[in-house]
Structure formats: structure tokens, C-alpha cells
């Protein structure tokens, strides 16, 4: 029997605030007992779980692991705009004139994430 990934864990300064952001990004939900000030918070989605843990150390360099998002019901560009409105910030724009490429954003605590094209934009809907 092999191991399964139970959840992806993200160190952060404010677990509840960052989990709230990611719950909105992924249309997920926080556990009923997750409240502001808790040392951890979990977001559950249809396909994964993210666990946010409070750590005192601040992020100082590029993530060794990051999440790549593929929009399901909107275009890549619409998703980028939605995430910016939720509190993400632009790190780098790798979109190309032919429609390929991706956009790298920071979440509210500076963790990198990428937004790729939707399946429909890739022609594999």
C-alpha cells in the first residue's frame, strides 16, 4: 500500500486569513471550528485539502513548491482578475500573444501561485 497526500500544508503568519483567501480561490470551505487567531486552519475542496499552520518565520525566498491553478468555469484572464480582486498581487506575466503561457501571482502572504489556461482554452474541454 502506498501513501496518499492527505493535505498540502502551508506555513503562514495568519492561518485563518490565508485559509479564507484560499477557500474563496478554490470554492472550498473552512472547518466549522476554524476561527481567527487559531494556530491552524484547513480548507477542504472537492479534490484536495490545504492546511495552514502559523509559524513565526517570515517567507524569505521563492517557494520550493507552489500551486498551479486551472480555471474550470472561466478563462485564465478572468481568473487572474478575480484573484487580484480577492487580494492576490501580480508577480510576473508569462502570457504570450498566441494565448499560451501563464500568470504568476502572490497570495496575501507572498506565496507564489500560477494561473494556467482553462481546459477550454487549451482545446481539451
The total number of residues shown for the chain amounts to 125
pLDDT at 6: 86
pLDDT single digits (tens) 50-101:
999 999 888 777 777 889 999 999 999 999 999 999 999 999 999 999 999 9
Q: What angle do CA 55, 61, 62 make, to 5 degrees?
A: 105
pLDDT at 57: 82
* Predicted TM-score (pTM) of this structure: 0.88
pLDDT single digits (tens) 27-45:
999 989 999 999 999 999 9
Amino acid at each position: 500500500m502506498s501513501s496518499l497526500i492527505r493535505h498540502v500544508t502551508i506555513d503562514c503568519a495568519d492561518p485563518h486569513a490565508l485559509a479564507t483567501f484560499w477557500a474563496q480561490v478554490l470554492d472550498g470551505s473552512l472547518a466549522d471550528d476554524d476561527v481567527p487567531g487559531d494556530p491552524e486552519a484547513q480548507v477542504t475542496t472537492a479534490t484536495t485539502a490545504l492546511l495552514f499552520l502559523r509559524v513565526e518565520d517570515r517567507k524569505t525566498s521563492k517557494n520550493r513548491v507552489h500551486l498551479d491553478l486551472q480555471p474550470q468555469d472561466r478563462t485564465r484572464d478572468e481568473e487572474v482578475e478575480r484573484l487580484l480582486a480577492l487580494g492576490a498581487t501580480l508577480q510576473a506575466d508569462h502570457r504570450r500573444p498566441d494565448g499560451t503561457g501563464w500568470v504568476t501571482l502572490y497570495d496575501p502572504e507572498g506565496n507564489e501561485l500560477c494561473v494556467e489556461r482553462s481546459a477550454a482554452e487549451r482545446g481539451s474541454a
